[in-house]
Amino acid sequence: MRILAAGDHFVAPELLTRELQDEIGKDHTIEGLLLPWPLTPFGQVAEVHEASGDEDTLLAALRGAQVCVTQMGAVTRKVLDGAPELRLVVVGRGGPVNVNLEAAAERGVQVCNTPGRNAAATAEYTVGVMLSAMRRIPETSAALAAGRWAGEFYTYDNCGPGLDGARVGLVGCGAVGSRVARALTALGAQVNLYDPYADPELLRAVGNPVDALDDLLGISDVLSLHARLTPQTRGLIGARELALLPEGAVVVNCARGALLDEGALCDALTSGRLAAAALDVFAEEPPPAESPLRTAPRLVMTPHLAGANTSVAHNAARIAAAEVGRFLRGEPLAHRVV
């Protein structure tokens, strides 16, 4: 069996290879390909999204391969057409948006993902940037690094709110949102949840379910987004929704940039209606130089890092390798999407 380990600078080909060999032994040919992500941002490649590299490079590496393990490789219709021996693609991420699933199904190529590999990391990071925005940690750190003891941040008007007793609204309560809910509850927050797709019993186990998004917004001192990006959720939080938040609310998005109208967010920050915001994801990554995000006040921004820690890379490689092992042994795949 020939296997392509199309890794990158986060989940490296060498890491994929080690996990594959631990799972299936060394009797199979495993060849590595290094894609440029995240040193080069992912983007659209032909008809697939959030992909790295180009079709021709991946296609050349796939010649004769029956299995491809990748995180960001652009598995397009052209690539699938040019790799007739390919039978399995395992994507080391939650959503295989870099794979043309329709074309894969037409060709009998099975596709698997690795759900949950970064849920804990993303939840931790969400709480971290939430606190950073609320407590103005980046501003005070920058002031001290510049040699200024910024005592004004201890004044009532400047010190920022805390999580203890705060009403936090979570939009989406899956693997990430549920972890955020438990962490916030431990910090004393009152957690309210809106997720029309989740089991109400599961919601009640981690917070207080709210039936309507507008109702959630009206009682959220902090709003944190954890929904998947779909045609229905694109632009979910716009100017109208932000206006429903209480005066001085905080908005956090570590899910997908297009869930949130960035222009409306900047307007609400500039007007002072929102106290702060924290974004790890953006509608366009990186944000263009002319984006109003770059000059918006009280905005914490990080470059799509919520799911990035060393444990996540190992989790992704291990879950992917286990799927390859099941495939080779003829067992049912645990995370098959096609």
Catalytic residue list contains 201: no
Residues 208 and 143 in one domain: yes
The boundaries of the domain holding residue 174 are 119-301
Q: In this structure, is residue 294 part of a structural domain?
A: yes
pLDDT of residue 145: 97
The one-letter code for the residue type at 94 is G
- Confirm if 76 and 102 have CB atoms less than 8 A apart: no
Residue 296 lies in a domain: yes
Residue 36: the pLDDT is: 98
Domain assignment of residue 72, yes or no: yes
Active site residue 335: no
Q: What is the pLDDT of residue 108?
A: 98
d(CA 160, CA 179): 24
Judge whether 216 lies within some domain: yes
Cβ atoms of residues 13 and 5 within 8 Å: yes
Residues 148 and 288 in one domain: yes
> Do 233 and 250 share a domain, yes or no?
yes
Query: Which of 128, 215, 225 minimizes the C-alpha distance to 174?
Result: 225
Q: Do 154 and 139 fall within a single domain?
A: yes
Instruction: Classify residue 336: in a domain, yes or no.
Output: no
Catalytic residue, from 14, 47, 285, 331: name it: 285
335 falls within a domain: no
Q: Count of domains in the chain?
A: 2
Q: Are residues 130 and 259 in the same domain?
A: yes
Beta bridge partners of 31: 4
Catalytically annotated residue among 226, 304, 326, 335: 304
Structure-block tokens of residue 270: 């500039």
Which positions of the chain have pLDDT values less than 50? none
Same domain, 165 and 113: no
Q: Is residue 337 part of a domain?
A: no
Phi first, then psi: give them for residue 168, nearest 5 degrees.
-110, 125
Q: Could you tell me if residue 334 is inside a domain?
A: no
CATH of the domain at 283: 3.40.50.720
State the sign of the Cα–Cα–Cα–Cα dihedral 71, 234, 195, 269.
positive
Query: From the candidates 117, 167, 226, 256, which is the catalytic residue?
Result: 256
pLDDT at residue 62, rounded to an integer: 98
Check whether residue 16 and residue 135 sit in a common domain: no
Q: Are residues 164 and 273 in the same domain?
A: yes
Alpha helices of 156-309 — where are they, by DSSP H?
175-186, 200-206, 213-218, 239-244, 262-271
The letter for the amino acid at 85 is: E
User: Taken in order 150, 155, 158, 159, is the CA torsion positive or negative?
Assistant: positive
Contact at 8 Å (CB) between 98 and 37? Answer: no
Pair 129, 243 in one domain:
yes
Domain identity same for 240 and 130: yes
Query: What pLDDT, on the 0 to 100 scale, is given for residue 271?
Result: 98
Is 49 assigned a catalytic role?
no
Helix, strand, or coil here: 70?
strand
45-66 tens-digit pLDDT: 999 999 999 999 999 999 999 9
In this structure, the answer to whether residues 86 and 124 fall within a common structural domain is: no
On whether both 148 and 275 belong to a single domain, the answer is: yes
- pLDDT tens sequence across 291-321: 999 999 999 999 999 999 999 999 999 999 9
- What is the percent of the chain where pLDDT is above 70? 100
Question: What pLDDT score does 84 carry?
Answer: 97
